[in-house]
Structure 1
Amino acid sequence: MYNLIRVEFFKLRKNRSFWTLLFVLSVLSLAYPLLYYFDHRSSGEPQITGAEFLITFISSNAYIIKFGVAVLAGFFISNEYSTGVMKTIASSGNTRGQLFAAKLIVFAVGSIVISLVFPIVSTVEVTLLSGFGHLPEGSAVLFISRAFGLTVLYTAGYAAIGALFTVILIDSGKTIGFSLIFFIMIDTVLVGLGSKVDFFATLYDYSIFKLVGNIGKPSIDSGELPALLLVPLLTFVISGMLGMLVFRRKEIK
């Protein structure tokens, strides 16, 4: 299993799509705060601080998580079906469960790296330009560690869902397209169903899709924390097990 994970990390390091995503997001992460900086400077408004920027935009990072997971799933996992690599490794002597688990772990790590680019790079840049400032409540260290920790957990949950789509759809284009549409539309669908059926309303309230928006809350009640932690973990485990089950039964051509 350790060797399989090492092989997958080697593939990730050599994956051009992964590095392209990191480069593009890094450029956008540097450019976006500059727009705010020069706009506020020209209008004479007070500059936004690093703390204010992080609180305001950490929840919006969910869009980058969804986009990064969808694109990386297509080019890192699904692409191996069309190139024949998946057929080769499936006959390597390792169990399919081990193969999928190794891919999921490394894919989740790659997605996590992508998800942290915008909040880290942007916050550091804004802090250098206008200082970090103060958070409305609590310790800065506590908020930053909690926000980044939850980002890691929720990205892993989304990555497990994306990995499940790859073994169902196989084709990289279909995986990227379906994943993007699913991640964008699922909130609207569940809210619409929830307005008519209470079960779907409850399902959405305790789903990764809604709770990801709470990552950037300045303060979290002790009663909210268990759900915020358990939901992404359960999503990762359940989606991972489903993906493993489908991968074991999948005919690889």
Structure 2
Amino acid sequence: MYNLIKVEFFKLRKNRTFWTLLIAFSVLSIAYPLMYYFDNQSSGKPQITGAQFLFTFISSNAYVIKIGVAVLAGFFISNEYSTGVMKTIASSGNTRGRLFTAKLIVFAVGAMVISLVFPIVSTIEVTLLSGFGHLPEGSTMLFIPRTLGLTLLYTAGYAAIGALIAMIFTDSGKTISFSVIFFLVIDLVLASVGSKITLFDTLYDYSIFKLMGDIGKPSIDAGDLPALLIVPLLTFAISGMLGILVYRRKEIK
């Protein structure tokens, strides 16, 4: 298993899409705060601090995660079907369960690295420009590590869903298109259905899609923390097992 993961990490380091996403989101993370800085400077408004920026715009990072997972799933997983790599590794003597697990772990790590670009780069830049300032009222010094830790955890959950979609479609274009649409509209669909069916409303309340919006709260009640931790872990485990089942049944040409 170690060798399989090592091989996948080698492929991730050589994957151009991974590095393109890192560079693109890094540029975005630098340009986005600059717009606010120069706009506030020209209008005479107080400059936003690093802590304020992180608290205000951490929810925007959800779009980075969704798009990053969708694109990386298409070019890191699905693309291996068209290039013949998937057929080669499937005949290597390792079980498909081990092969998928290794790929999922590395894919999740890659997505997690991408998910940290916006909050870290932007917060550091704004801190250099305007100072760090004060954390939101009601929060503690654990706000930053807690927020970043939950970001990694939820990104892993989204990555498992993205890997499952990639295994179903096996085509990079279809994977990216479906994943982007799915991630962007699933909240609206579940919320709409939930407004009419109580069961779906409850499922949505305890889904990774709804709880993603809670990771940037200034404070989290002790009663809410278990759900915030368990839901992404269950999502990763269930989506991972479904991905293994799909991969085992998939005919590789």
- What's the TM-score bracket when you normalise by the shorter of the two chains? over 0.9
Shift of the alpha carbon at 1:137? 2.4
Query: Alpha-carbon deviation of 1:82?
Result: 0.2
Deviations 1:42-97 (A, max 9, x none): 11111000000000111111111000000000000000000000000000000000
Query: C-alpha deviations, 1:194-249, integer Å up to 9, x for none?
Result: 11100110010000001000111011111110000000000000000000111111
1:40 pairs with 2:40: yes
Corresponding position of 1:69: 69
Counterparts of 1:28 and 1:59, CA distance in 2? 15
**How many residue pairs align between the two structures?**
252
Does 1:137 pair with 2:138?
A: yes
Instruction: State the TM-score, normalizing by the size of structure 1.
Output: 0.99
Runs of 4+ in structure 1 off by over 6 angstroms are none
Unmatched segments (≥5 aa) in structure 2: none
Mapping 1:27-106, distance limit 5 Å: 27-106=27-106
Q: Report what 1:223 is aligned to.
A: 223
Deviations 1:94-153 (A, max 9, x none): 00000000000000000000010000000000001011111122323x001000000000
Report SS of the residue matched to 2:228.
helix
Query: 1:124 corresponds to which residue?
Result: 124
SS of alignment partner, residue 121 of structure 1: helix
2:195 alignment counterpart: 195
Which residue identity is paired with 1:137? G
How far apart, CA to CA, are the structure 1 residues paired with 2:116 and 2:204? 25
What is the alpha-carbon root mean square deviation over aligned residues?
A: 0.6
Q: 1:204 maps to what in 2?
A: 204
Q: Which runs of 5+ in 1 are unaligned?
A: none
Take 1:43 and 1:222, find their aligned partners in 2: how far apart are those partners? 42
Kindly provide the amino acid, as one letter, of the partner of residue 172 in structure 2: S
Q: In structure 1, what is the equivalent of residue 179 of structure 2?
A: 179
SS in structure 2 opposite 1:58?
Answer: helix
Residue in 2 that maps onto 1:164: 164
TM-score by length of 2: 0.99
Structure 2 equivalent of residue 109 of structure 1: 109
Corresponding letter in the other structure for 1:139: T
Measure, in 2, the Cα distance between the counterparts of 1:211 and 1:81.
Answer: 33
3-state SS of the aligned residue for 1:48? coil
Matched residues in 2 for 1:81 and 1:38: separation?
47
Give the CA deviation at 1:176.
0.2
C-alpha separation in 1, matches of 2:166 and 2:41: 46
